[in-house]
Structure 1
């Protein structure tokens, strides 16, 4: 096996980035002309069956997530000959990393930061509903598209909720319980997301220790620096950076509900539209970093993950012992593992914004692991029908519902091999351009029962698949969006009829049910429909 192996059915265009964990290549799907990002496991790692297993687990995890705020998974492939190669084929997100944006601007307006936080939190919420904890939320793993929308990437060290995979993460964003090796919980992701939000609105990280020991003490025992942030968002920072998981919102979905309350109270109606426009304007300052710009690859994959040995049982530094305990943790880490970037922001990380990167920590997962070489029957993606290939590779658990949304990139036709007799080269078929997708005419009606609601959304989709996002809320008044009660994402093909979805809501959380309807691509302002819940109606006296 050598480095020239490529996933059959895809033509490489250019490398987007490379590092110790592997490389990511912009490719075009031969059958449809759809641009994709293909992540290849690095040569050093693919020789270790454990790392290959973890790479498979990351692919399985991505395949189970259905959210417009998480990079879409298309398929997973392995080379059938030892020592073997492995690759994940994913959506190509034509965007830039939040790290690149912060490096350019230093920070963002609070409204822009709130929009960015909300989008990536909705991605986290999809993972949390599947019992998955990301464990490495940071600016490198949040992508900002040209329209100001955001997506979450890199589930390389994700773990199952309640599991104890060891101490791992990026130090500047690790929750206190991560430093202590406690079980993985969604509240740790809330902490990391808040630390990233703090960096957006202040221009610096909440804790700026210069080494492991200082960072450990500051995260575990240091006061929350909320006073450094704008006053309207301080309640979010105070809650999200609380020292114990119990003091924080229990998961990303709950945090979104608090975020919307704070944003509305501090910045008024229209904060979300204004914030998205501001994000789009900041992203527009970096046009050459977008994958569609065709810039030369540079930088490395996100290798800022720190893997530390398991913490001693009951380890919890006190005021006197924190420094010594943290130093002990550091020494063990330096002896057993390599730490490649404390803050994870140096170098050309911005050029790697089109894909999810993989770290070497143990992901969550579960379920049977496919065996290389085994034949697995699965439905190909609607937009990319995979044809059989004579190449000795095996396609494992391809996604059945992912829909590419990026604009196709052109690829060069291979040069014909020379022959003894001059012949006219056979022209290579060029991929047909992907049609522009538009969504219009969005309308919604809502029916409610004592414990369920049903929304019907009519819309006009042209040019290709779109996504309808339904966000459910409970409150005491019509259009009260303070208490989030779940999110559904529904793919819609062009020319199809209305979308109908039922929802069982939390009992006792309010007397009015509301649904906010948005689409990808956007059809304009969100549509909000509300209705009273019959169980709250008092009988006439």
Structure 2
């Protein structure tokens, strides 16, 4: 930023540049410890709301001291610019590892999930919800340890957070799509979705656009195949559609993980997993900030306050605040009355039909955006403040910031690509294109944030026989009353779900009048033993709000046929 840099540090070399600024490798003059410094673009640095929000957030983030969290050391601002000083991790991002080597071993995937849950637990204890957990934001060191990065240097959420969605669509919990406030359960969902990708090499849901992804996360069966059977229950727990059905905090999920891993893979599972992760990271050592493995260990950098420069490190005072939404370049989409803010980059351009075009309604899912990911050549991410999207207007932020290297990322820790200059560059944020049309010329109505109400679920028969039986009843009608404050029956999407043989199935229900919806279960295959099947009903209104029956109904499937 015009040659300005925080005092007490010496720049070594650039690590990349992106929409929100440039990232450099530097050393702390007093200790010689390497750090990553992200210089914010003047658009962000001059934004008073951003500075105020991040200044308060930095105090909380600086207090998180956990081996599985990449630390924020200082937020430094002056009249000449603003910068963030972060821990430098010598390793690669999980995204790069998956891209280069594909699916991991079950033990390695469990190690990544365990490290992530440990880091998330430390953040949640400080009142910080990550909100954008994904493979780009997990860093793997040369020892196989995983660190969680990028806790939010993009948009201040501020007031009205309940009407904005921040995150990466392929990993967002169902309730995040409705604009519900972020909770630890959102992070647990995203961490489990990334766990599935480690196991299988692909994300759990891969719809071609935002609307398809929303439907999959809200209503599609929780995927378990082709993951190994011993971890299926972990996937079902961590990716439960309702946040109340997931483990209520990361420590509880860690306890379940330890039990499952030990029973399925033996007492030495973690050592095997760490060795495999270390081996995979070593194969990508050329991408590390210090390929010879000599750097990256960083002690806390402390610098005295100056009269003209304000430095906020890990101040020992904290107020509970929701974490700033972390993202790459932000796209805004008005869908069902809720403003959606998503990270957008070139990593998964398939969401936009293979093109990262500002004109498309379906923005691509994000690429790397970790704030100091050593496995990325491009730099730090940015996003547009929520207040910049006018009500009633469909807008989309630019899907590409300044020119980036072929392997985009957002964080320091990786050798720069050949296209990176020898000096740290600061590239301005590309403004979002002007909207081509308004949805409405009148003020937008208040968003619908109330979920449908689902009444008691009933069944026409509680005992059915299997397909192929000639004389018994093989089907049962499922009924439930569904009401909504704004959406009529025709606008509601109602379905019931049941689990049988380790597989969860979803069946659409249709309106039978008077607010009653009905669907049919059966015929079903013959089970090995008599099976009691739980059935729950889920309703989604026109705004995407999802409601679920308070308790399930049950149908028993017999393992024999009524004799003729």
Of 339, 344, 362, 2:367 maps to: 344
Rounded to whole Å, the distance in 2 between the matches of 1:232 and 1:41 is: 45
Of 244, 252, 276, 2:274 maps to: 276
- C-alpha deviation, 1:228, in angstroms: 2.3
Rounded to whole Å, the distance in 1 between the matches of 2:223 and 2:191 is: 15
Q: How does 1:353-372 map to 2 (within 5 A)?
A: 359-360=382-383
Rounded to whole Å, the distance in 2 between the matches of 1:345 and 1:94 is: 17
Rounded to whole Å, the distance in 2 between the matches of 1:302 and 1:247 is: 27
Aligned to 2:117: 121
Rounded to whole Å, the distance in 2 between the matches of 1:112 and 1:129 is: 26
Of 83, 90, 101, 1:94 maps to: 90
If you compute each CA radius of gyration, which structure gives the higher value, 1 or 2? 2
Rounded to whole Å, the distance in 1 between the matches of 2:205 and 2:288 is: 30
1:436-484 CA distance string (max 9 Å, x none): xxxxxxxxxxxxxxxxxxxxxxxxxxxxxxxxxxxxxxxxxxxxxxxxx
Rounded to whole Å, the distance in 2 between the matches of 1:158 and 1:102 is: 31
Q: Could you say what secondary structure the match of 1:93 adopts?
A: coil
Rounded to whole Å, the distance in 1 between the matches of 2:378 and 2:52 is: 20
1:129-166 CA distance string (max 9 Å, x none): 12221100000100000000011011116979x96372
- C-alpha deviation, 1:75, in angstroms: 1.9
Aligned to 1:473: none
Contact 1:167–1:307 (CA<8 Å) still a contact in 2? Answer: no
Is 1:183 paired with 2:181? yes
Of 286, 289, 292, 1:288 maps to: 286
Q: Specify every segment of 5 or more residues in structure 1 that has no aligned partner in the other structure, as ranges.
A: 296-300, 316-326, 328-333, 364-405, 407-541
Aligned to 1:44: 43
Q: How does 1:18-417 map to 2 (within 5 A)?
A: 18-79=17-78, 81=79, 84-156=80-152, 164=162, 166-293=164-291, 303=328, 312=337, 341-344=364-367, 351-352=374-375, 359-360=382-383
| Number of residues of Structure 1 aligned to a counterpart in Structure 2 | 337
Instruction: Could you list the structure 1 runs, at least 4 aligned residues long, displaced by more than 3 angstroms after superposition.
Output: 157-160, 162-165, 304-313, 337-341, 349-363
Change (3 A) 1:66 1:309: farther
Change (3 A) 1:355 1:93: farther
Change (3 A) 1:294 1:57: farther
Change (3 A) 1:264 1:159: farther
Q: Could you say what secondary structure the match of 1:164 adopts?
A: helix
- C-alpha deviation, 1:355, in angstroms: 12
Change (3 A) 1:13 1:338: farther
Q: Could you say what secondary structure the match of 2:39 adopts?
A: strand
Aligned to 2:544: none
Q: Could you say what secondary structure the match of 2:65 adopts?
A: coil
What value does the CA root-mean-square deviation take over the aligned residues?
A: 3.6
Rounded to whole Å, the distance in 2 between the matches of 1:204 and 1:78 is: 40
Give the TM-score of the pair, scaled to structure 1.
Answer: 0.57
